[in-house]
Structure 1
Amino acid sequence: MRKIIRTLFVGFASLVALLALAGCSGNTGTDASPTSEAAPTSSAAAFPPSARYVADMTSADGKTMTIGISVDGGEVAAYACNGTDDEAWFFGKQTDGRIDLASRFRDTLRAELAGTDVTGDLTMNGVAYQFTAAPVSGEAGMYTAALDGVRASWVVREDGSAIGVQLNGTSGRDFEQAELQQLSDLQFRNEVRNKRQLQQAQQITRLANGSMSSKINGRDVTPTLVTGTFRLT
């Protein structure tokens, strides 16, 4: 008899435990729900297969600069100048809509595609600029021409106006590569970068046949449109 009662008691206790477990499994609180985190996404958009961008900018101390950027696939070329005595070329690649380049004269360009525009930071000769470059079409973009060791380069805006600088050479002494690496940024700017002989480029104009025309030291030249794959030799 005692054995039967004990067996019934054990069975009843098991039933109560099963009912309690079923009640717990019906809990719909958020603490019991598994959570998942969304994968982080990049804020930069992807560049079109081929595009050109132009922007005018002003530094905090009032200096002005204009930049043109050309992208073709993963290749990037950019040119910035103030129209009188300073310029910088940038060449390299864009990755995931971002650009991070340095010129041969230690200027820097960092930018990314934001919507349809390119926003970024430019540092030239120790001066910082911020810009938002809109896409351009038609004749707008960057152009360059060379003659007898002299190079002129321009940025043509969407409205047809242009700004350019002519590089005639350099008055600085030749440095060995090891010497250049030892120079601080300030020393490099004073001894190398700012020894270039720069002047305002002659105006660039559009001819009736659609080509561009200008002059270098009084002689006619035909500037060519700079694409993202362009590189200075």
Structure 2
Amino acid sequence: MVRRGPLITLAAVVVLAAVLLAVNVSKEDDDATPAPAPAATAAPDSTTTTTATPAAVEFPAQATYVGRIPVATGTLTLAIAVEGGDAVAYACDGSAIESWLAGDADAGRLDLEGREGARLDGDFDGETVRGTLWLGDRSWTFDAAPAEPPAGLYLANVGDVRASWIVTQDGTVTGVLRGGDGGTTPAPALAPDGTAVVDGETVTADPVSGSDTF
């Protein structure tokens, strides 16, 4: 009778060894698989976006702008005359308050000064002048639109008496007369033909341009 015990045992050992070998080979294959490469990251965009500053709007070679400013006592009327790089402005209430200012009109910007701390700063947007007017310790913002003749700023001198008028686009006339003693009163009526009676004398008022001096 053949004894098979040792043979069976040997066969079992061989099978077990084969299984362990297969497991080890499989594990080595897994370990040898390279890890996936990290995803490429795009470099940050170094381009800097800048916002262009709009170019200044130059004033026309010669122009006049008129606006009204509500104040506690009524209305101030403002006229600004520009010519070349110069500008003149006049503000009055048609009764007692008036101020003449003069200065530069450069690159669409106004920088004007007058007596007793009067000042006007403004910017031109291609159509309207917008800014701030200071008279003493008071200030107001304003919008002044283009004024076509006969609208504009007018002046007449008789001796040491000065009459000043602003004519708005709708034909309204506002003005102040300054006497030789410095006192102020409403200016005399300005006729449609530009004449007025100043200190008893009939005169023709002259249009004021930005290059005039006072």
Instruction: Tell me the TM-score normalised to structure 2 length.
Output: 0.76
Give the distance between the partners of 1:114 and 1:71, measured in 2 at CA: 14
The alpha-carbon distance between structure 1 residues 165 and 206, as it changes in their structure 2 partners (threshold 3 A), is same
Partner of 1:69: 80
For residue 39 of structure 1, report the CA deviation from its aligned partner: 4.1
Deviations, residues 147-170 of structure 1 (Å, cap 9, x unaligned)? 021010000111222110011033
How far residue 102 of structure 1 moved from its aligned partner, in angstroms, is 1.3
TM-score (norm 1): 0.70
Q: Given the alignment, which residue of 57, 62, 70 partners 1:58? A: 70
Mapping of residues 177-196 of structure 1, within 5 Å: 196=182
1:59-138 matched pairs, under 5 angstroms: 59=71, 61-138=72-149
Match of 1:223 in 2: 205
Matched with 1:205 is 191
Partner of 2:61: 49
Q: Distance in 1 between matches of 2:129 and 2:112?
A: 14
Kept in 1: contact 2:123–2:130 (CA 8 A): yes
Aligned to 1:214: 196
Hey, what's the Cα distance between the residues in 1 that align with 2:178 and 2:45?
Answer: 70
CA RMSD, Structure 1 to Structure 2 (Å)? 2.0
User: Structure 2: any 5+ residue segments left out of the alignment?
Assistant: 1-36
Q: Secondary structure at the match of 1:78?
A: strand
State how far apart, in whole Å, the 2-side matches of 1:46 and 1:112 are.
10
Q: Does 1:40 align with 2:77?
A: no
The letter for the 1-side match of 2:133 is: L
Query: Higher Cα Rg: structure 1 or 2?
Result: 2
Kindly indicate whether the alpha-carbon contact (under 8 Å) linking 1:88 and 1:105 is maintained by their aligned counterparts in 2: no
Task: Find the aligned partners of 1:121 and 1:219 in 2 and give their Cα distance.
Answer: 37
- Percent identity of the aligned residues? 33
- Contact residue 116 and residue 135 of structure 1 kept, 8 A: yes
Structure 1 equivalent of residue 30 of structure 2: none
Equivalent AA in structure 2 for residue 124 of structure 1: L
In the TM superposition, residue 94 of structure 1 has moved relative to its aligned partner by 1.0
Local SS of the residue matching 1:99: strand
Equivalent pairs, count? 177
Distance in 2 separating the partners of 1:56 and 1:159: 12
1:213–1:220 Cα contact (<8 Å) kept: yes
